[in-house]
Structure 1
Amino acid sequence: MATRLNRLSRWHSVFKRGYSTSADEHKLQRSGKTVNLFTAINQALSLALETDPRAYVFGEDVRFGGVFRCTTGLADRFGKSRVFNTPLCEQGIVGFGIGLAAMGNRAIAEIQFADYIYPAFDQIVNEAAKFRYRSGNQFNCGGLTIRTPYGAVGHGGHYHSQSPEAFFCHVPGLKVVVPRSPHQAKGLLLACIRDPNPTIFLEPKWLYRLAAEEVPEHDYMLPLSQAEVIREGSDITLVGWGAQLSVMEQACVDAEKDGISCELIDLRTLIPWDKETVEASVKKTGRLLVSHEAPVTGGFGAEISASIAERCFLRLEAPVARICGLDTPFPLVFEPFYMPTKNKILDAIKATLNY
């Protein structure tokens, strides 16, 4: 709502469409127009509504486009009965989405900022995630997708900059997906909307207008739970997701100037995550660094670190490094000190190589 502004078809057609393989992704990128991330999100939502008459988009202020304009024009095109505003009540938004999905619809709920998803925590964790299990697979709310912008924005402070992904990664029954770019965002969001499980789709608000690349105008999906090696290397493996990938890539470029070969992996889906791809890379390089914006203690980087230590213990040449946010509330003027920057990552890369 306005006050929050101030606080800063059908399944058979989905199966026919199928997923784009990793080999197809570069071809896809060359076949589209250059758009930014929020436009790619808008395209995905438009296609979801167009290809499935059971799809609905709802949340605070979505009818006029929302704070970040991701839903601009959708209500005019598809009508106010399919794209509509809700009261300022996150618990109600998700609860309504669970009921809508349980009736066989595609419920696409928007939480205006990830920082305000906590009032809906009980609905997500105790209802959506357990709906299928508690009914013995007789019922489900798999058509539920919860979109929400997360992470640093440059001036958001402690109420508009949080990264809550680790909370939901602890919950069996959910999928948690974070795109790094416009092309990824469109393909992964369409896959989430059409997946038969409730999903949390975290959009890096920092990149809404900053990131731009060629995005196909047609309908495509990218596979969930499949990491992507976006830079091959031999000395150390770096793993991240979302907006942090661009920071990590800059560190890789600078490390290369010093003769260090970095392999960079975008996890894309955090739960269930692609352990095999990360494991194969670490067995090759012997070293691992994980970076994310969320606080280091209890962050999802800890799960990756523990899993790889179990799987690759005899191949590791150094302890797993974690370059993450600090264990403090997200600051305002001290944001540059809080963030896991290129230089922090570069120093950690060198320290790990020299261990």
Structure 2
Amino acid sequence: MLFNYTALIALSAVAFACGSKETKAETEHSAEQKKDRIELVRDDVAKKVDVIIDGKFFTSYIYPDSLEKPVLYPINTANENAITRGWPLTPRAGERVDHPHHLGLWFNYGDVNGLDFWNNSSDIKDKTNYGHIVHKSIVSAKSGNEEGVLKVSLDWVNSKGEVLLTENTTFIFRGNDDQRSIDRIATLTAPNGEVKLTDNKEGMLGLRTARQLEHPSNKPEIFTDASGQATDVPTMNNEGITGLYLSSEGIKGDDVWGTRGAWVSLSGKIDNEDISVAILDYPSNPGYPTYWHARGYGLFSANPLGQKALSDGKDELNFKLDKGQSATFKYRIIIYSNETILDGQVNRDYIEWAK
């Protein structure tokens, strides 16, 4: 009986040890399974949410008090090249230093009940005729294997802090080995009375690109904003400047400005990486298909509401929201790496998304 009892103890010990090893292995495997490819890292002290894809930095949602609106900045390709201009936050050598309100990827407008949200920046001292967008809260920040989803609440306010519009926006971040994408879905609501978004060329979804993605320019230019302020944009060294716009209507280069289209792409090179950035409009958006406020000096913007200004008076919208009324604006931004997309790739991606 003693032999059998000892053998039983030994067998039990072996079984326990094996079971322990299996449990540890299963735990490690489970931890690996739970690790998300697309991580949203929230930092309330720094007032930002970082987006990391496969261990590489993609972008940050930032909302410091020094900015007149929250933005996504910077934005990187899958190879970690920044497609956004660094100035004014982190200047790089050789960049233009015009239009300080052009930062990262943003969403606002040049005429909201007569107030200019678009041109507001730290350079504007008298804020009476300007509005700014206040980050109110992060509703949720969810990491995931296929996508990361960030939901935020914002207020569009005047210089007295009175709310004209509330904004509830969802960002959806995706990525793979050679592509990154952002869906920006914004619902604007007029909680306190009628809000007029009168036709104005300064709008609405804007991206300021890195110098390499600008169009080569051989002459100095002066650009005037909605408030009449002129900014000199001098001729610069065109070495490595490779940008080219292409619209869904087959229009290329600077001719894209002031035309309508379901999408526009901007292609070029940064550090020998073939890059294309596409902005896609959505069929249910107000003013679809959008007009494009796209400039060769690096402003890449979809403006569905500025129809009179951008069509030379041929079209006119004068969009407005009655008290309690809402409107949703949905866009997708795709950053393609290591490939050219002149073979119709953007159009195929657009059809798949829009359907």
Q: State if a TM-score over 0.5 links the two structures.
A: no
When the two structures are superposed, what TM-score results if normalisation uses the length of structure 1? Answer: 0.26
| TM-score (norm: length of structure 2) | 0.26
Query: Over alpha carbons, which structure has the higher Rg?
Result: 2
Richer in helix (by share): 1
